[in-house]
Amino acid sequence: MRIFHISDLHIGKQLHFYNMKDDQLAILGQIIDKAKELRPDAIIIAGDIYDKSVPSAESYMIFNQFLNDLSDIKPDIPVLIIAGNHDSAERLDYASAFLEKDNIFVSVQPPYIEDEYLKKIVLKDEYGDVNFYMLPFTKPGYVRHLFEEGVITSYDSAIKALIDRENIDYSKRNVLISHQFYVSGDASPEICDSEQVYITVGGIDSVDIDRIKDFDYVALGHLHGAQSIGMKHIRYSGTPLKYSVSEEKHAKAITMVTIKDKGTEITFDKIPLYSLRDVRSERGLLSDIISRATDENRHDYVSITITDEDEIYKPKDQLEEHYDHILEVKVENSRTKAQLEATDFEATVLKPFEAFKQFYQEMQGAPMSSEEESIMVDIINKLQAEGED
Ligand SMILES: [Mn+2]
């Protein structure tokens, strides 16, 4: 069985103030073309469909068009979609009953009542059944009431308890679809600027891969760089587009997974995706940066650092004649470096959570409890989601 694994579409995302609609339509179009060409047996979208919990009408239109185009492919390719932390459950769920007629399965919330379980879709190939367990983004508070008091104390214990209560038969072939921050021991996953992951390894939102390692494949969303975590079969597909300059070296792709009979090693193919405009940085003398502009690259999203020592007259205006999607223009020379060094000790910019943690410690004379940390992370994530508009 071959599966397309993608995640983190972030439809509606803007870079700086540029609308990425054309970029997103183009990349989704490529995914449709690849699905027609390669005919996978299933397509997984592992969360963060939309960039905002209240998507714009345009964002709905883009995703609806994508689902329409996918469902037009005959015979049907089942599509399995879970909600990520950016998605609102209600807004992603609105058409799920209707969509199932077209073999599009959506899971937006973890089990809420006692006899409810993860949505499970069974697909067949020549070796038998493959069970797909759909685990949408979960916070401890969503599922705490399902367990005895004291069992759910963290993201890690929440995911462990949820998986344990499924009583999964691991002699069968099982795939998990999930959208959390998974870590393997002390190893740091690759993080990039567009994820808004505040808490890193050892932090409270991380979940140990030990909870999910017995699945034959784990299709993950959340981190925006394609990578396996700890074990080859536990994998983030990454975003189909670069959503920050920190991703400029990424080669974005569809992860195509091939699952054979139980016990045979899973294999991957990367199906490259080509974006309309690249997201990248330019650094050097203004004249050199300008001379590097071509008809091909002048529409790229570029973060520009000018290193000229001489004062330049309106550098941004000059650059804008050659590049039409400039994200930022920075000046870095001996003068600005000296300024930076002078202010460095007071101008350290902390991530919001770290800043609050320091503030709390100073005010209370003691660190936050893990429960307080968890509350604060929720607040920051919520504010961040709202503040993106
Ligand atoms: Mn994401």
d(CA 73, ligand 1 centre) in Å? 27
Q: Helix 21-38 and helix 57-72: axis angle, to 10°?
A: 10
DSSP 78-99: -EEEE--TTS-HHHHHTTHHHH
The string of DSSP codes covering 293-310 is --TTTTTSEEEEEE--SS
Q: Say what the pLDDT of residue 93 is.
A: 83
Closest CA to 237 of 84, 118, 366, 67: 84
Looking at residue 118, its pLDDT comes to: 97
Distance 46 CA to ligand 1 centre (A): 9
pLDDT in tens, 35-68: 999 999 999 999 999 998 889 999 999 999 999 9
Percent of the chain with pLDDT over 70: 94
Q: Domain spans of the chain?
A: 2-272, 279-343, 352-387
Q: How far, in Å, is the centroid of ligand 1 from the Cα of 236?
A: 11
Cα(320) to ligand 1 centroid in Å equals 30
Ligand 1 centroid–CA 291 distance in Å is: 35
For CA atoms 329, 323, 325, 303, give the dihedral sign. Answer: negative
C-alpha 193 – ligand 1 centre gap (Å): 11
User: Per CATH, which fold does 2-272 belong to?
Assistant: Purple Acid Phosphatase; chain A, domain 2 (3.60.21)
Give the largest Cα separation in the chain, rounded. 71
Question: How remote is the CA of residue 86 from the centroid of ligand 1, in Å?
Answer: 7
Least confident span in 97-101, 127-131, 381-385 = 381-385
Q: How far is the CA of 195 from the centre of ligand 1 (A)?
A: 5
Q: How far is the CA of 180 from the centre of ligand 1 (A)?
A: 10
> How far does residue 370's CA lie from ligand 1's centre (Å)?
24
State the Cα–Cα distance between residues 378 and 246, nearest whole angstrom: 25
Rounded to the nearest whole angstrom, what is the distance from the C-alpha of residue 346 to the centroid of ligand 1? 32
Residue 375 one-letter amino acid: I
Q: Which pair of structure tokens corresponds to residue 226?
A: 């394609």
Answer yes or no: is pLDDT of 386 > 80.
no
CA of 17 relative to ligand 1 center, distance in Å:
19
User: Ligand 1 mean position to 126 CA, how many Å?
Assistant: 34
The CB density around residue 33, as the number of other CB atoms within 10 Å, is: 11
Instruction: Find the 339 Cα to ligand 1 centroid distance in Å.
Output: 35
**Distance, CA 85 to ligand 1 centroid (Å)?**
7
Cα 143 to Cα 139: distance, rounded to the nearest angstrom = 7
Model confidence, pTM: 0.85
Characterize the bridge pairing of strands 253-258 and 79-82: unpaired
Q: What is the pLDDT of residue 389?
A: 45
Separation CA 224–CA 193 (nearest Å): 9
Going from the Cα of 386 to the center of ligand 1, the distance in angstroms, rounded, reads: 15
Q: Report how far residue 263's alpha carbon sits from residue 175's, in angstroms, rounded to the nearest whole number.
A: 13
Sheet holding 217-220, edge to edge: 119-125, 128-135, 173-178, 217-220, 231-236, 227-229
Q: What is the pLDDT of residues 198-227, one digit of tens each?
A: 555 456 789 999 999 999 999 999 999 999
Residue 347 has pLDDT above 70, yes or no: no
In whole angstroms, give the CA distance from residue 88 to residue 52.
Answer: 8
